[in-house]
Structure 1
Amino acid sequence: MTDIFQANLAIIQSRWPSAAAILLQQDIDQLDAVLVTGANQTISVNGIQLSSRHNRMAETQLFLSTLPAQAKSATLYGFGMGDVPFVALDEGRLTQLKICILNPAIFALVLSYVDHTPWLNHPGVMLELQPSQKALYQPYMVIAADLELAADENARLRDLLMYQLNKDYANSKHSSDAPEIRQRFAENQSFMQQDPDVSQLKQKFTCETAIVIAAGPSLEQQYDKLAAISQCIERPLIIAVDTALKGLLHHKIKPDIVVSIDGAISEYHIPVQQSHDICLAYLPRLKPAIIRQWIGERFNALGSSAFYDELAQIYPDKTRLYTNGSVIHPAVALAVELGATEITLCGADFCYVDNKSHAFWQDFAAASNDKDTKTWANNVQKTAKNTGHWLINGAGQKVPTTLNLRAYLLNLESYIARHDGIKFYQSSRAGAKIHGAPFREL
């Protein structure tokens, strides 16, 4: 424990005793940390520099430039080398600054080598070593290095920050003004007019309990139980996403409803020729061929996002199901629309379980003679091993994932949080731990 750390800690103990207690528990000797020197000095942890080594002042001004021009109060997620609080408070750019630490061990390391007493004594500073994992304070800045080095207990907050930082870019790829989207909507106009709204499914199904089946790899662990449940006279409503259907039918499980929304879905993903006695709930981005060839009854809806606002003016009576990136969202929303007050999630993994992306698909690919199919399966395994992103599963283990899967998980958790009158459960610990959906066996 250095003299500099003692001086920093004395102020923290005085102002934020709970934060000081956390810092005293950190073992900085376990960090792979080295001093890096360029035009400026910084510290590298696990090969990631906490700040620029070329021009730390310019980097700090770049972070501050992301705030609204008139902002006098802000939140800093991460800490880097601590340049932001020094500059922002010393220059009077901010009068109040909340600092949310993403990795206490790295914070303790920096406090051991840099005198931070000037800003620690500033009356406008607030320090959180156990920041909220549910919502972001506004406005805020994010230190990029700290996102990469976030502690496990802050994985959800890291994911929330990554989602917000990438949201505008991700949404730019899904504009309703895109010519191909407008063409697809036009191609499906007759289906939207002729097929009934999903609310009409209430005349076929009344349910208090529902099983919503996604296509995550953990679904493979549930096939036997689902097959047994599907044969019961008194059973929950079974709603499946489109990409889960192939594996379900192979294992003699016929869902009541299949939900499909993605314009890229083809007959390879969804076996329409086996859709007897299965209802299709679709959104108007689906390929017309899939809708046309569906053998069972068809129902449609619109999504809740702004993407569907223009169509909502054309079809004002259409139900708007929650949509936020994944087909699991409208599938869950449909269960709620049909009256379910207890929903069990199967295959809702949001990660690569056993280096797989989907239940059944890779086993199907392994048995296939199609070269493209085998190539796809091999690429999935490579992606799973090299994605660089992870989340915590229901067993408390790190599992590889991707940015978009983490976003889908956060959006589902947000939906669950807004429906506190409905009980949600997840049926496997192998996939992501879903906040608001405790584990329960099928």
Structure 2
Amino acid sequence: MSELFLSNLNIIKQRWPKLATQLDQNSIENFSASLVTGNTQTISVNGIQLSSRHNRMAEAQLYIDQLDTNCNTVTLYGVGMGDVPSLLIDKSNLNIINVAPLNLSLFALLLTYTDQSEWLADSRVNLFIPSQYQLAENYIAITPDLALADEANSVLRDFLVLENNREFANNQHQVNDAKMIARHTQNMIALQRDPSAEQIVIAPYQKAASIIATGPTLESQYKILKKQRKLPIKIRPLMIAVDTALMALENEGIIPDIVVTIDKNITLKHLPENLSEKISLVYFPNTDPIVINQWGGKKYNAYTNRATFDDLHSRMPKIRLYTNGSVIHPAIDLAVQLGLTEINLYGCDFSYPHNKTHAFWKDGELGPSINYSNKHWVLDGNGNKVATDLNFRAYLRYLELYIKSKPQVQFYKSTKDGAKINGVAYRESVI
């Protein structure tokens, strides 16, 4: 231990003894760290600089300038080189400065090589372990710390990244988007003709649903699904598949009850040539009209919970289904709104287990490729890191928020491969 670490840790012991114990137990040996010099110096950790090497104070001020000038409480997620908290304690309008390290080992490394005593000793500073699902009202997220966040803070990391990208994401869903309006116009006859999805009739005693997505683990669950499908409708789970899973299921002789499609880019090439009349389709106004017209079975429609559908809903009311980027979301919400209280997830991986992006489909055919999945990760059911991408991380976290809002519903998975979904229990089989 360095003298600097002991000096910094002594302050933490006096003020936050439990956190000090955790820091004292963290090893910094797994990091590849080096000093980087420009106009100023910073530390590079695993190839990521903790701050600018040219003008650290100017960079820290840019972070602080994001804050509401009238706020008197601020939360700092990550520490960087300690420059931001060092400047924050100079602001007399701040009554509380919450600081949440996103990686305790990284924080221990910083304390080993730098003097952070001034801001650590400030009475307004509160060093704490953050909540994973609730962001502070006024906060600053230090970018390098997001990239270096540890497993314990991976959920919080994902929500912070989502917030950083919220404006960009919202710009992709403008109410006055000309292409979207044109697609809605194309589908107006179908929307008027076909009933809303809440009119789907399920068996009186049916309480469970199997939600089938296209994650790689689906390939290990075909046998379970085949057994389910052979059961009488009154006792088997209702099978709801996402659109891109249908080819895989048909290839295995599995016929779902319902297919949900939402992506405007899904075309007939993503679906089997001979669409079974036994399968009902739930579609949205953005759906390719050729897909709607060619579907052989019953057809129902729905809107998402986004504001882009508010005007259409006021003129032509339909069921509103939860969605935040993934077709898995409305498929699950459909089951819940139909009154089913047990949801079993298959192929809902939000990651690339088994070094694959999807079941059935070749790498890259649905967009993502395993060749570009080495930068981002989530934890699987065994606590191991598994490759993913930023979009899948977002879909996962929004599903977890949805699950938290439905305490009356039980959620299950039958494999620990793929992303761990908080709020979902594991069990071997539902048969």
Q: Which amino acid aligns with 1:252?
A: G
Aligned residue number for residue 84 of structure 2? 84
Say which is worse superposed, 413-422 or 114-123, in terms of deviation.
Answer: 114-123
> Secondary structure at the residue paired with 1:131?
coil
* 8 Å Cα contact 1:205-1:237 kept in structure 2: no
Q: Deviations over 1:177-225 (max 9, x none)?
A: 2111100000111111110111110366762111111111110110111
How far, CA to CA, are the matches of 1:22 and 1:168 in structure 2? 36
After superposition, the CA RMSD in angstroms is 1.7
Aligned residue number for residue 403 of structure 1? 390
Aligned residue number for residue 149 of structure 1? 148
> Secondary structure at the residue paired with 1:268?
helix
* 8 Å Cα contact 2:206-2:236 kept in structure 1: no
Residues 31 and 40 of structure 1, relative CA distance in 2, 3 Å threshold: same
Aligned residue number for residue 167 of structure 1? 166
Q: Select the residue among 382, 385, 406 that pairs with 2:371.
A: 382
How far, CA to CA, are the matches of 2:283 and 2:206 in structure 1? 20
Q: Does 1:259 align with 2:260?
A: yes
Q: Which amino acid aligns with 2:7?
A: A
Count of residues paired in the alignment: 427
Say which is worse superposed, 205-214 or 224-233, in terms of deviation.
Answer: 205-214
Question: Cα offset for 1:267?
Answer: 0.8
Residues 166 and 198 of structure 1, relative CA distance in 2, 3 Å threshold: same
Question: Cα offset for 1:29?
Answer: 3.3
How far, CA to CA, are the matches of 2:230 and 2:208 in structure 1? 16
Q: Which amino acid aligns with 1:193?
A: Q
Residues 355 and 54 of structure 1, relative CA distance in 2, 3 Å threshold: same
Unaligned runs of 5+ in 2: none
Question: Cα offset for 1:324?
Answer: 1.0
Residues 205 and 166 of structure 1, relative CA distance in 2, 3 Å threshold: farther
Where do residues 172-251 of structure 1 align in structure 2 (5 Å cutoff)? 172-202=171-201, 207-233=206-232, 234-251=235-252
Aligned residue number for residue 290 of structure 2? 289
Question: Cα offset for 1:376?
Answer: 3.9
Aligned residue number for residue 28 of structure 1? 28
Q: TM-score, normalised by structure 1?
A: 0.93
How far, CA to CA, are the matches of 1:194 and 1:352 in structure 2? 40
Residues 378 and 297 of structure 1, relative CA distance in 2, 3 Å threshold: closer
Residues 221 and 195 of structure 1, relative CA distance in 2, 3 Å threshold: same
Question: Cα offset for 1:115?
Answer: 2.1
How far, CA to CA, are the matches of 1:379 and 1:25 in structure 2? 39
Aligned residue number for residue 51 of structure 2? 51
Q: Select the residue among 400, 417, 426 that pairs with 1:439.
A: 426
Aligned residue number for residue 14 of structure 2? 14
How far, CA to CA, are the matches of 2:48 and 2:207 in structure 1? 50
Question: Cα offset for 1:379?
Answer: 7.2
Residues 265 and 24 of structure 1, relative CA distance in 2, 3 Å threshold: same
Residues 423 and 191 of structure 1, relative CA distance in 2, 3 Å threshold: same
* 8 Å Cα contact 1:209-1:343 kept in structure 2: yes
Residues 311 and 377 of structure 1, relative CA distance in 2, 3 Å threshold: closer
> Secondary structure at the residue paired with 2:269?
coil
Residues 301 and 254 of structure 1, relative CA distance in 2, 3 Å threshold: same
Q: Does 1:394 align with 2:381?
A: yes
Question: Cα offset for 1:399?
Answer: 1.1
Say which is worse superposed, 208-217 or 350-359, in terms of deviation.
Answer: 350-359
Q: Which amino acid aligns with 2:306?
A: S
> Secondary structure at the residue paired with 1:345?
strand
> Secondary structure at the residue paired with 1:284?
coil
How far, CA to CA, are the matches of 1:51 and 1:214 in structure 2? 40
How far, CA to CA, are the matches of 2:159 and 2:311 in structure 1? 29
How far, CA to CA, are the matches of 2:398 and 2:162 in structure 1? 10
How far, CA to CA, are the matches of 1:255 and 1:264 in structure 2? 22
Question: Cα offset for 1:167?
Answer: 1.9
> Secondary structure at the residue paired with 1:273?
coil
How far, CA to CA, are the matches of 1:203 and 1:437 in structure 2? 24
How far, CA to CA, are the matches of 1:266 and 1:205 in structure 2? 34
Q: Deviations over 1:247-303 (max 9, x none)?
A: 101101101111111110011112263231111111111011111110000011111
How far, CA to CA, are the matches of 2:259 and 2:366 in structure 1? 24
How far, CA to CA, are the matches of 1:96 and 1:383 in structure 2? 41
* 8 Å Cα contact 1:353-1:430 kept in structure 2: yes
> Secondary structure at the residue paired with 1:411?
helix
Aligned residue number for residue 133 of structure 1? 132
Aligned residue number for residue 101 of structure 1? 101
* 8 Å Cα contact 2:77-2:101 kept in structure 1: yes
How far, CA to CA, are the matches of 1:378 and 1:192 in structure 2? 29
Q: Select the residue among 392, 396, 400 that pairs with 1:413.
A: 400
Unaligned runs of 5+ in 1: 366-374
Aligned residue number for residue 75 of structure 1? 75
How far, CA to CA, are the matches of 1:352 and 1:146 in structure 2? 24
* 8 Å Cα contact 2:50-2:144 kept in structure 1: yes
Q: Which amino acid aligns with 2:400?
A: E
> Secondary structure at the residue paired with 2:140?
strand
Identity fraction in percent: 46
Q: Deviations over 1:303-358 (max 9, x none)?
A: 11112112111113x11011111100000000001111111110100011223222
* 8 Å Cα contact 2:77-2:99 kept in structure 1: yes
Question: Cα offset for 1:377?
Answer: 8.0
How far, CA to CA, are the matches of 2:29 and 2:255 in structure 1? 56
Question: Cα offset for 1:441?
Answer: 1.9
> Secondary structure at the residue paired with 1:63?
helix
* 8 Å Cα contact 1:207-1:338 kept in structure 2: no
Q: Compare the two structures and name the one with the higher helix fraction.
A: 1
